[in-house]
Structure 1
Amino acid sequence: MQKSRISILFEGYIANKLTGEEVLELQELLNGEEDQLDIRDLIGEELKRDPLLLSEEEWLAGIEVNIMNKLTGRRENVKPRVWRLWVRSAVAAILILGIGISLHYWLAKDNTPDSKVVISAGGNKAILRLADGSEISLSELQSEIIVGDALTYADGSVVKGGTASHWKDQKIDVYIPRGGTYKIILADGTRVWLNADTRLKYQFNKQKQVRELELDGEAYFEVAHQNIGEGEQRKAVPFLVRTAGYTVKVHGTSFNVTAYRGEPSRTTLVEGSVEVDVPNKQEQHFLKPNQQAIVSSNRVAIIDVESSSYTSWKEGTFNFSGEDLEGILRQAARWYDVEVHFQRDELKQLKFEGIVPRYEDLEGLLKALEKAGDIKFEIKERELLVK
């Protein structure tokens, strides 16, 4: 008997052998009622062979999220058994539980909340402020700059006003406004992704014995190793990220720092090792990959996390893992440059899980939240009311 297309794709999904096109095809088939029945039958057969104490709905939720991971570029494959914990730990609502909801926001533009106001996602925006008071607005058609003998964009074109004689050895203040993001490759090869409403201060000086940056906002770092001296005198050049409440000393490579004023600060380690030091505290906190340091009121808490949930912004998605609505909309407010108002304070504590594309209009995110929870939104100009 010839296998159906849904059977072939399901087997490919189980074996983790689907191509990108086949992942999209599987998601499209899941939108059809007849194919949903077929996939439930296939899931039932799979559960007979490998019982995981999962329901069909939990299996479907795992497939849906795994497909979203593939679509958004996450590298690791997540088997259904992992999502058993994901489903049972959801506190209030799951954004991507319904079949076909997630991909809908990738492919459909017209299913948005009833509102005449369309608020577009952020984009490439950044301003360089130099010590002499001059400012350089970076091109919105570019996404990154490279600090070298000249200040250039990734395509090799020189940033206007970015000749070496103009900015070399000055402290550069990079400001990312609300609704903006930009990437910077520093002179030592370190790569820095800057999120919305963020300021990074950096001194270009090859002779300095320490690499030191000041951060107010959120940034993801991939730090390049740098050494000075020869032979036995050779030593690593320290890399420090200073925030208003603590300092991160880098011993490894990849990590994310969230340090917005008025909010708990978080340092999330992806690879390598970092040390978190709080002023006036004789404590040193070392992080391992997939650990996070939360700093609030000079207190440090170390917790285990899935680091990709806190770095997905640079890949183009919002990834909420048990996040409360206040925190979700705080991120949205910075990215879409809106002001958020809650009709009742208890709405702030609603918790959600899921993945939503970051470069869709604001309405896409709001529609997903409305489907997942008992909430409604109203938009007036650039103000968002939560009801």
Structure 2
Amino acid sequence: MEKEELHKKLDNFLEGNNEESMDGELFSLLVRMDECRKKACPPNKERMWKHVRNALKLSRRRELMRKWAVAAAIVMPLAVGLCFYNYRSDEVAPVPENMGKRHQVSLTLNDGRVLQVQQWNNDSVIQESGTGILVSVGQQMIYHAEKVQLKEEIFNTLSVPRSTEYQVQLSDGTRVWLNSESELRYPVDFVSTERKVFLRGEAYFQVAKDTTKPFRVVVNDMMVEALGTGFNINAYQDDNCLRTTLVEGKVRVSYSDTRQECILVPGEQAVLKEGVLTSGQVNVDDIIAWKKGRFVFSDMPLETIANQLERWYDVEIRFDDTVAKYYRFTGVMKRYNELEQVLGLIEETTNVRFKVEGRQVRVFRNL
């Protein structure tokens, strides 16, 4: 890798702008820096410089060292952060007092340990069965399999609570965006003849191409097989149906109970409801708007809107008048607006009013 390119990747990573898969060289650099966390002592800056020089394979000539001082300045804060990570990596660090477990993204390891990944103050690297797991604080988790061939697949489970989103890059390079109140179970490294993961809730998948190992997502009794593609799966239980929306590429959706299946092309959605699998055209941008930080409600019943707001704002919405559930609303709003702002916009164009009482929201008809 060219030095300028690595410098750019490091910069993008620390800024949270990295859109491409992390390559082996960059990950190796981060793992090397994490070696210092095994020492119960303050960071040694001279040792940090040594790791930077070795990882970037720089010349020892002073003029080149001066040229790369900027790259080292970017790496150093990350390395120091890794050193302060609890050297006893087999224990779960305490949750900060100002951050309860209610909205914590959690990682359940194969041995049953549960790590609250958003509690860490610095980027951290942990190891599990020969696979490095880089946890980027508040942003994403990245898996990178080292040269250790596992005999069988070892699974992790990533759980995203209400009011939260999270990203994970699997060991094959596949990127997954998990919506609130969702869960993904996956191998730390894909050693089988297929790449199979299990989803509950909603997620967007950008699948890395591998013609030798098909990528399959299992949701209850439905299976979605990707052929190097981007697609969204919505499988929330309160919707009473499973929706698979194809953004790019091609997917095969199958339902084992009735042996139904369909192949989607971009812009199509497969819906499994009450044992019947159907497909049709949809507005893809509306479906994946959550991934871009927006609510898009297109002539949608208030009951369906309420389900989304409950998951995102972690509230309970109660309809005092059943008829109000069937009122419909159209609008586009930012997901990071305050709940009161969203409810106010709905009140302006729909014949309802809301009353917020703590974490409970009551819905009334305007009579």
TM-score if structure 2 supplies the norm length? 0.63
Percent identical among aligned pairs is: 32
Cα 1:147–1:220, aligned 2, differ >3 Å: closer, same or farther?
Answer: farther
What letter matches 1:151 in structure 2?
I
Alignment of 1:11-90 (within 5 A): none
Q: Which residue of 2 aligns with 1:382?
A: 359
Structure of higher RCO (CA pairs closer than 8 Å, 6+ residues apart): 1
Please give the per-residue CA displacement for 1:270-315, whole angstroms capped at 9, x wherever unaligned. Answer: 1111111112223221111111111111111212111110101011
Which of 125, 132, 144 in structure 2 is aligned with 1:150? 132
2:41: which partner in 1? none
Q: Could you tell me how far apart the structure 2 residues matched to 1:372 and 1:215 are?
A: 36
Of 243, 248, 271, 2:224 maps to 248
Contact 2:229 2:248 in 1 (8 A): yes
Paired position in structure 2 for 1:208: 192
Are residue 237 (structure 1) and residue 213 (structure 2) matched? yes
Equivalent pair of 2:294/2:335 in contact (CA under 8 Å): yes
Matched, 1:257 2:215: no
Is residue 113 of structure 2 the alignment partner of residue 134 of structure 1?
yes
Mapped to 1, the partners of 2:321 and 2:288 lie a distance apart of 30
SS in 2 for 1:180: coil
Distance in 2, Cα, partners of 1:290 & 1:206? 29
Amino acid at match of 1:244: N
Between the aligned partners of 2:220 and 2:246, the Cα distance in structure 1 is 19
Q: What's the secondary structure of 1:284's corresponding residue?
A: strand
Q: 2:325 aligns with which of 348, 355, 378?
A: 348
Q: 1:329 aligns with which of 306, 314, 317?
A: 306
Work out whether residues 183 and 200 of structure 2, in 8 Å CA contact, stay in contact via their aligned partners in 1.
yes
Instruction: Find the aligned partners of 2:355 and 2:214 in 1 and give their Cα distance.
Output: 49
**Deviations along 1:211-237, whole A, 9 cap, x unmatched?**
00111100000001024xxxxxxxx31
Could you tell me whether the CA contact under 8 Å between 2:210 and 2:228 is conserved in 1? Answer: no
Give the Cα–Cα distance (whole angstroms) in 2 for the partners of residues 362 and 178 of structure 1: 14
| Distance in 1 between residues matched to 2:250 and 2:363, nearest whole Å | 40
Give CA-to-partner distance per residue, 1:132-161, whole Å, 9 cap, x none. Answer: 110011126899999994111348x998xx
Change (3 A) 1:349 1:146: farther
Amino acid at match of 1:336: Y
Structure 2 counterpart of 1:204, one-letter code = V
Q: Give the Cα–Cα distance (whole angstroms) in 2 for the partners of residues 299 and 212 of structure 1.
A: 24
TM-score normalized by the length of structure 1? 0.60
User: Cα distance, 1:205 vs. partner?
Assistant: 2.9
Find the partner of 1:296 among 257, 273, 276. 273
Could you tell me how far apart the structure 2 residues matched to 1:338 and 1:143 are?
30
How far apart, in 2, do the equivalents of 1:272 and 1:379 lie? 43
Secondary structure at the residue paired with 1:334?
helix
Letter in 2 for 1:261: Q
In structure 2, distance between residues paired with 1:175 and 1:244: 17
Q: Distance in 2 between matches of 1:386 and 1:127?
A: 33
Q: 1:332 to 1:349 in 2, by over 3 A?
A: same
1:360 equivalent among 323, 337, 340: 337
Structure 2 CA distance for aligned equivalents of residues 306 and 252 of structure 1: 21
**Paired position in structure 2 for 1:11:** none
Preserved CA contact (<8 Å) 2:183 2:201: yes
Q: Which amino acid aligns with 1:253?
A: T
**What are the equivalent positions in structure 2 for 1:258-273 lying under 5 Å apart?**
258-263=234-239, 264-273=241-250
Instruction: Give 2:189's aligned amino acid.
Output: N
Tell me which amino acid in the other structure corresponds to 2:197: L
Distance in 2 separating the partners of 1:324 and 1:304: 20
Alignment size in residue pairs:
253
Superposed displacement of residue 381, structure 1: 1.3
Distance in 2 between the 1:333 and 1:324 partners? 15
The answer to whether the Cα contact below 8 Å between 1:125 and 1:181 also exists between their aligned partners in 2 is no
Equivalent residue number for residue 275 of structure 1: 252
